[in-house]
Structure 1
Amino acid sequence: MENTFRCPPNSGSQFYNYKGTYSIILFALVDADYCFKYIEVGADGRANDSTIFRNSDLNKAMINGSLNFPQDSLIIGDDAFPLRNNLLKPYTGSLTIKQRIFNYRLSRARRVVENAFGILSARFRIFHKVINLKLDTVDLVVKASCALHNWLRTTSSRVYVPRDSIDREDIDTGEIINGLWRSEVEPLQFARLLREKYTDFFNGEGAVPWQDRMIGL
């Protein structure tokens, strides 16, 4: 994920990207619960995924066996990543049916990663504008946002990530139903949608026997 910020003094074109802005990259490893398990912040906006991964501490840990992952756990990536015994990537070229099935299942898992970044960006609106802070401070903002994301995801999941906010697949039609984060709703609009969701819940499945009496009904 790219994070746009004001041009650092005397940096020249170091952080200048193809969009004509200055940005740094958030490179991250995400688990199946949409939490960030590893992050690396600070690569300039022109860097590609393969270069960032090759130079990362994550890659070094994978090579020397110090990653300390649970047995049989795997990392999935896209074409930019190398195929390894602990890193899966899609097949390319002319594919067999089995390979197409593999790619489909892998793409479903990778969608979790995309949604984690999307939720982070949608909830922390600072990522939707130029961050007018020093580069070191931008790094801290990004890291703090990831930490808060993880905390909210694990302690207040239903409020922080309601079901409709995440992409889901209709297994009958194959249609991907976009999560609310993709519409980039404004905070107030999202709050209204969330309030309506809980209004329905409190008047339906989540109703308590005494609530009508307490409001004089």
Structure 2
Amino acid sequence: MDQQLLLCGAILTVCGVLKKKLITSLKKKKKRFWMRNLLKSRKMHGASNTLCANLNPALECDVEDHDNFFRIPKNLFDDLLRKVEKRIEKKDTLFREALPARLKLEVTLRYLATGDSYKSLYYLFRVSPSIMSSFIPEVCDALYDALADYIKVPNTEQKWMDIKTGFQLKWNFPGCIGAIDGKHINLRAPACSGSEFYNYKKTFSIVLLACVDDDYSFTYIDIGAKARYSDGGVFSNCSLKRAIDDGSLNIPAENVIVADAAFPLQNNIMKPYPGNNLTTRQKIFNYRLSRARRIVENAFGILASRFRIFEKPIANNVKNTIKITRTSCALHNWLRKNDSNYLEPGLADYEDISTGITINGSWRQVPLRNFEDMGEDNTLTENGTTIRDRFADYFSSEGAVPWQTRFIH
């Protein structure tokens, strides 16, 4: 009798569970369609087959239209597609046609060029946001790998000498082989990150540390340091600092990288004299160093002006934000070498040597945060101090330029 009661109780329990599952399944919203009508109309009304197809100089379209839409000229877009096409294309399945490689590249470049939300791009290209969130990081990886050779730290004396000659001729700083600085790349607050990515401007960001040559191109990038770390900490832990210290870069003796007050003064790193009560000699050195160092600020500004995704917090996770940033840097270098119109008039800073006035470039309207407000790095080395004094003496004597005293107010 007891066994029968137990069996009946077990049967009733199972029936109750099955009843609940049946009720739950009936309450679930029935899926209305396999594919939204908006997505079905991609081939007919999507931007790739309509707007983008007409952004072609061969169709008597204004040459600037393609450049403005993708921030890349048509001929270079086609070259870029050839570089990544095989890596980003997928095979069709029995259920769906794969998205064309051209469409993926168009969506990715438009995303980098504008920073538009996936939802906005969905209405333009008729591609679902979930699919875009999957393939945009993949396309970024493919672009970076294809263009990685355009971001390389020189490792021979001859390559360093080429950059040195450029700084001497263009920026009047002999012995300079690069300019280094860091910028904060703003992003949406990462989930469960606490204050790790919270910076001194009360926004969330990761750090882009970069060294630039004499022609606004990045020779080194380090991306992803958490914003809560100090500027000195970011530089001290980067691979460039280790390579400088161990001598593996083959930097010629007494050649230097110029930096601002946030960096340490070393035999290969020059920064300005600190304080306000400076001698004329020290002010001249600070001006000449600032003139050479400004090129890295301008490189950041040109990058952000071309790829407007950096104008506002990037709505993506940290991993993808790193991919977006490094890909943009590689594209910047590639375009700098291949697009003669990449550096638009008025975009970079300009010095009027007749009046002693620096005219800011239009890029300065872009909100990239630098390190300067985070305090100075007071680390000094004896060799660094000696070399800085030697430069100061040279700039005030045989190395003087006629206009330098106009800029030391």
Per the normalisation by structure 2, the TM-score is 0.43
Query: Cα 1:153–1:8, aligned 2, differ >3 Å: closer, same or farther?
Result: same
Structure 1 position 3, deviation (Å): 1.2
CA contact (8 A) 2:254 2:267 kept: no
Structure 1 position 101, deviation (Å): 1.2
**Paired letter, 2:358:** I
Per the normalisation by structure 1, the TM-score is 0.78
Instruction: Give the alignment of 1:140-155 within 5 angstroms.
Output: 140-155=323-338
3-state secondary structure, aligned to 2:267: coil
Instruction: Give the alignment of 1:28-177 within 5 angstroms.
Output: 28-69=210-251, 73-93=255-275, 94-156=277-339, 158-177=340-359
Deviations 1:17-57 (A, max 9, x none): 23332210101111111111111111112323211111111
State the alpha-carbon separation in 2 of the partners of residues 115 and 20 from structure 1. Answer: 24
Query: Cα 1:70–1:148, aligned 2, differ >3 Å: closer, same or farther?
Result: farther
Select which of 198, 201, 213 maps to 1:19: 201
Query: Cα 1:146–1:95, aligned 2, differ >3 Å: closer, same or farther?
Result: same
State the alpha-carbon separation in 1 of the partners of residues 320 and 218 from structure 2. Answer: 20
State the alpha-carbon separation in 1 of the partners of residues 227 and 248 from structure 2. Answer: 29
Deviations 1:151-196 (A, max 9, x none): 111111x311123211110111111112222245xxxxxxxxxxxx
Structure 1 position 70, deviation (Å): 5.3
CA contact (8 A) 2:258 2:269 kept: yes
Q: Which moved more, 1:49-58 or 1:11-20?
A: 11-20
The gaps in structure 1 that reach 5 residues or longer are 185-217
State the alpha-carbon separation in 1 of the partners of residues 188 and 279 from structure 2. Answer: 48
Structure 1 position 148, deviation (Å): 0.4
**Paired letter, 1:145:** S
**Paired letter, 2:256:** L
Instruction: Give the alignment of 1:186-201 within 5 angstroms.
Output: none
3-state secondary structure, aligned to 2:346: helix
State the alpha-carbon separation in 1 of the partners of residues 346 and 293 from structure 2. Answer: 18
3-state secondary structure, aligned to 1:160: coil
Alignment-derived partner of residue 190 in structure 1: none
Instruction: Give 4+ residue runs of structure 1 displaced > 6 Å after superposition.
Output: none
State the alpha-carbon separation in 1 of the partners of residues 246 and 254 from structure 2. Answer: 17
| Pairs aligned (count) | 183
State the alpha-carbon separation in 2 of the partners of residues 92 and 16 from structure 1. Answer: 28
State the alpha-carbon separation in 2 of the partners of residues 109 and 28 from structure 1. Answer: 15
Q: Which has the higher helix share?
A: 2
Deviations 1:127-153 (A, max 9, x none): 112212221111010000000000111
Structure 1 position 119, deviation (Å): 0.8
Q: Which moved more, 1:13-22 or 1:134-143?
A: 13-22
Structure 1 position 72, deviation (Å): 5.1
**Paired letter, 2:212:** V
Query: Cα 1:164–1:46, aligned 2, differ >3 Å: closer, same or farther?
Result: same
Query: Cα 1:96–1:42, aligned 2, differ >3 Å: closer, same or farther?
Result: same
Question: Could you say what the CA RMSD is over the residues aligned between the two structures, in angstroms?
Answer: 1.7
**Paired letter, 2:250:** N
Paired-residue identity, % = 53
State the alpha-carbon separation in 1 of the partners of residues 353 and 201 from structure 2. Answer: 37
Alignment-derived partner of residue 191 in structure 1: none
State the alpha-carbon separation in 2 of the partners of residues 81 and 44 from structure 1. Answer: 17
Query: Cα 1:44–1:110, aligned 2, differ >3 Å: closer, same or farther?
Result: same
Highest Rg: 1 or 2?
2
Alignment-derived partner of residue 214 in structure 1: none
**Paired letter, 1:58:** L
